[in-house]
Structure 1
Amino acid sequence: MLFLVTLALAAPVELVEYAPKKTTRHVLKSLDYHLSFEQYVAEYRKVYTDAEKPARQAAFEASLAAIKAHNEQIPAPSWFMGLSEHSDKSKDEWASLKGLHRGAFFSAAVAAVRANTTRRFDPPASLDWRDSGVVTPVKNQGGCGSCWAFSAAETVESAYGMATLKASGKAASIPILSPQQLVDCAPNPEHCGGTGGCAGSTQPLAFQYLISSGGEDSDLDYPYMARDGKCVAGSRKPVIGISGYEDLPMNDYTALLEALVNEGPIAISVDASWGAYEDGVFSSDSNWLIDHAVQLVGYGTEGGKDYWLVRNSWGTSWGENGYIKLEKFGEGKEPCGTDTAPASGFVCEGGPSTITVCGTSGMLSGSSYPTGAKLL
């Protein structure tokens, strides 16, 4: 987190990014290969000190070399890499973006793979909850490990949108909620992978806090600062409340799919080893270390591959305008692997030393969503 201290300012950080659609990947890749560091700095409006500039340039050049090597593979890969505002980050800074430390809903007792259910369920061929107006714009967590707070806040936003959609057939306007309130106020007494705030926590802990505190403030009233702060939520007015939340069975494909179809977007956990992702259907091996929290918003098919549609919190310059497509295999076909270091960003103190995780990037390993969302 050496260079990210520049984000810890006294002024609020712009939370929502409204960016134009990016250039298509084939043109973008051609441009990427010849983009100079100076052009990158100008494109992404970077400002460096003289001391940090050499390290930034070295990180950028390493990113560019990795992009070229990956994208020019023969046969062509199913997904492509590209530049983003994060392409000049160090390894430590990349790690700081992955602030998931799940544990409150996780223990050795549920470490085994859960069997898929046999209940009858006929999902639609594809689904994108953005089309129904229940997904708010892509946001940017900056240099704080607050992905868990963004995943939780965005899923509360979507839960409210779903409630109004089910009630009237049309989603109401959704207020942008405050991840900063969760960063500052949601307790993490058992040190579930961290101490809370920018040091990481879990979506269920965020939901528990919102239930006990009476709801979540808007980002307008409690603006995002991309750093740890003092909890001041008691002096403000929450705008959306929830009455409960549901944890889905671990590594259960059908349970996740059914919840996504019937309840709306879901807060999920992943291995975010896709920092340079640009577009396409991402697939990887099964050496997954769960370290990031995101939101699942749909699924579909592209180029003959099924995918899960996932919203990230790294801004619109990353991925497909802030989204990634993770390969989806189907019931009984999802790959499984072992997280060999859950204590470094996965479980509470004293938790298991290894965890079985399933789905591309381990995305079936931990999923939850709030219930009873309503405007206050």
Structure 2
Amino acid sequence: MYPYIYLAIAPLLLPVSGLEVRQLRPAHQALEQQFAEYVHRYQKEYVKGTEEYHRRLAHYSRSAAEVERLNQRPGRLWTAGTGPLADRSEEELQSMRGWFGFARRGHFTSALTQVSSDPADTPEEFLNWTSLRSLAAVRDQGGCGSCWAVTASTVLDSHAEIYKSTQRSFSAQELVSCVPNVKKCGGTGKCGGATVELAFQYAMEHPVQTAADMPYEGSDGTCEKHPPSLMQLSKSADFDVAAVGFHAANSDAPGMKYMSGWERLPENAYSPLLLAIYERGPVAVSVDASKWSSYESGIFDSCDEDNIINHAVTLVGYGKDKKLNANFYLIQNSWGPSWGEDGQIRLLRRDEDDKYCGIDRQPQEGTGCEGGPTEVRVCGMCGILYDNAVPHFRHPRAN
């Protein structure tokens, strides 16, 4: 009997005989060569032979096998690849998602909430916002579960540019460090997760620093600001800001300099989302991004009907790919410019997206606050229609 040794060529260490080792060695060498090219391409700093190197190689091997399987699907609309996240563990990928909206229905009303719009009211394709300077640099949240804050600041920056009511940026790091989350809506706060809605409310109630004054660190950081209203906000606003509809700023709120409030769009409604992106600007949307890590290009259509909403991203437009004969939502992610299509993903869009629905049976993992429902209905590809929010900026003429 041949002695058995272990060869690390896959996520699990497999027992193989001496003869099998000679047969597998070329495949292992090819895999290591691919991994070496991957490390060089994405400027990873792994030392060959170390425990970390072998752990990352195992994750890469798993991802490469999954990419090969995905790319063999007949009639596929998107291409998988071993992008910058191919060497991450599932726990690391989960921590990068870290968004977490609200599992609660509200009662507020607003123009977008009240209007029963038809898709015909908006153009077939709308990609105007892609030329905004504030969207040119795709952000990278790193290992911090701060997608909610990075998305909120991205949306606020873009609306500031569109409406020219304030020539400034909004610090994502201040949002991470300072936004209270005592109800544990979608996480424990900071890099442990929170919501875009809470971030918008904070930006309305507090004079947020610019990105230059408080640069992004990708960590919890320290909040150096403790205004009197902060404790009141933390005690009362967590559930209030979950309500669908318009949330107005107080007359003395610092945010009144540039915005009249913000709005949570109707849950699982297709037309109001298109209307928001068309009439107002980029929208903060919530999705199930559990299967996004291997996305490279094309129109992603691999989410099931049931989804766990776990990530916040910025919807910047929508259109149609004539070659693929499919409509899409254009989304800017916060995983850096090397991921996907220059940091963006196109998500399958259907005119009846509000009828493609499933259940989020783990809202406590993604969209829930303490005391919220145990399951919620989510619609659209990757649940994109469930929980979306947009600020209402003032035009300079209105000030």
Band the TM-score falls in, shorter-chain normalisation: 0.7 to 0.9
1:244 aligns with 2:261: yes
1:323 counterpart (344, 352, 368): 344
Q: Distance in 1 between matches of 2:115 and 2:353?
A: 10
Q: Quick one: which amino acid aligns to residue 311 of structure 1?
A: Q
Q: Quick one: which amino acid aligns to residue 148 of structure 1?
A: W
Residue 109 of structure 1, CA deviation: 6.1
Change (3 A) 1:185 1:122: same
Q: Distance in 2 between matches of 1:180 and 1:373?
A: 24
Q: Quick one: which amino acid aligns to residue 64 of structure 1?
A: A
Change (3 A) 1:176 1:212: closer
Change (3 A) 1:202 1:87: same
1:287 aligns with 2:306: yes
Give the match for residue 68 of structure 1. Answer: 68
**Alpha-carbon RMSD:** 2.7
Q: Distance in 1 between matches of 2:316 and 2:335?
A: 16
TM-score scaled by length of structure 2 = 0.76
Q: Distance in 1 between matches of 2:203 and 2:106?
A: 26
Q: Distance in 2 between matches of 1:188 and 1:198?
A: 12
Give the match for residue 45 of structure 1. Answer: 43
Q: Distance in 2 between matches of 1:131 and 1:351?
A: 39
Instruction: Map 1:296-335; keep pairs closer than 5 Å.
Output: 296-302=315-321, 303-331=324-352, 334-335=355-356
1:107 counterpart (104, 108, 111): 104
1:220 aligns with 2:212: yes
Task: For residues 70-94 of structure 1, give each alpha carbon's deviation from its aligned partner in whole angstroms, at most 9, with x where no partner exists.
Answer: 1123x24101111222110001000
Change (3 A) 1:76 1:318: same
Change (3 A) 1:64 1:204: same
Q: Distance in 1 between matches of 2:349 and 2:85?
A: 26
1:345 aligns with 2:366: yes
2:294 counterpart (263, 271, 276): 276
Structure index of larger Rg: 2
Task: Answer with 132-141 or 115-124: which moved more.
Answer: 115-124
Residue 48 of structure 1, CA deviation: 3.0
Give the match for residue 80 of structure 1. Answer: 79
Give the match for residue 182 of structure 2. Answer: 189
Give the match for residue 98 of structure 1. Answer: 97
Residue 156 of structure 1, CA deviation: 0.3
Q: Distance in 1 between matches of 2:349 and 2:258?
A: 33
Task: For residues 153-211 of structure 1, give each alpha carbon's deviation from its aligned partner in whole angstroms, at most 9, with x where no partner exists.
Answer: 011011112213xx8xxxx9x64432111000011121112121100000010011111
Q: Distance in 1 between matches of 2:379 and 2:114?
A: 12
Q: Distance in 2 between matches of 1:134 and 1:143?
A: 23
Q: Distance in 1 between matches of 2:258 and 2:360?
A: 34
Instruction: Map 1:32-181; keep pairs closer than 5 Å.
Output: 36-48=34-46, 50-73=50-73, 75-103=74-102, 106-107=103-104, 118-119=116-117, 122-128=121-127, 129-131=129-131, 133=133, 135-164=135-164, 175-181=168-174
What is the SS of the residue equivalent to 2:185?
A: coil
What is the SS of the residue equivalent to 2:374?
A: coil
Q: Quick one: which amino acid aligns to residue 104 of structure 2?
A: S
- Report how many aligned residue pairs link the two structures: 328
Q: Distance in 2 between matches of 1:340 and 1:370?
A: 29
- Asked if the contact 1:136/1:176 (under 8 Å) is kept, the reply is no
Change (3 A) 1:119 1:66: closer
Q: Quick one: which amino acid aligns to residue 89 of structure 1?
A: R
Change (3 A) 1:42 1:331: same
Give the match for residue 363 of structure 1. Answer: 384
1:200 aligns with 2:190: no
Task: Answer with 348-357 or 127-136: which moved more.
Answer: 127-136
Q: Distance in 1 between matches of 2:51 and 2:161?
A: 47
- Asked if the contact 1:136/1:158 (under 8 Å) is kept, the reply is no
- Asked if the contact 1:116/1:254 (under 8 Å) is kept, the reply is no
Give the match for residue 22 of structure 2. Answer: none
Q: Quick one: which amino acid aligns to residue 193 of structure 1?
A: G
Task: Answer with 277-286 or 304-313: which moved more.
Answer: 277-286
Q: Quick one: which amino acid aligns to residue 261 of structure 2?
A: G
What is the SS of the residue equivalent to 2:59?
A: helix
TM-score scaled by length of structure 1 = 0.81
Give the match for residue 264 of structure 1. Answer: 281
Q: Distance in 2 between matches of 1:163 and 1:269?
A: 24
- Asked if the contact 1:177/1:217 (under 8 Å) is kept, the reply is yes
Q: Distance in 2 between matches of 1:332 and 1:280?
A: 19
Task: For residues 113-161 of structure 1, give each alpha carbon's deviation from its aligned partner in whole angstroms, at most 9, with x where no partner exists.
Answer: xx99644552112111113556342100000000000110011011112
Task: For residues 199-242 of structure 1, give each alpha carbon's deviation from its aligned partner in whole angstroms, at most 9, with x where no partner exists.
Answer: 0000010011111112x32222101111111112579xx99854
Structure with bigger helix share is 2
Change (3 A) 1:77 1:372: same
- Asked if the contact 1:180/1:225 (under 8 Å) is kept, the reply is yes
Residue 279 of structure 1, CA deviation: 0.7
Give the match for residue 28 of structure 1. Answer: none
What is the SS of the residue equivalent to 1:52?
A: helix
Change (3 A) 1:318 1:160: same
Task: For residues 242-301 of structure 1, give each alpha carbon's deviation from its aligned partner in whole angstroms, at most 9, with x where no partner exists.
Answer: 441111000010111111100010001000021110111111221211000000010111
What is the SS of the residue equivalent to 2:69?
A: helix
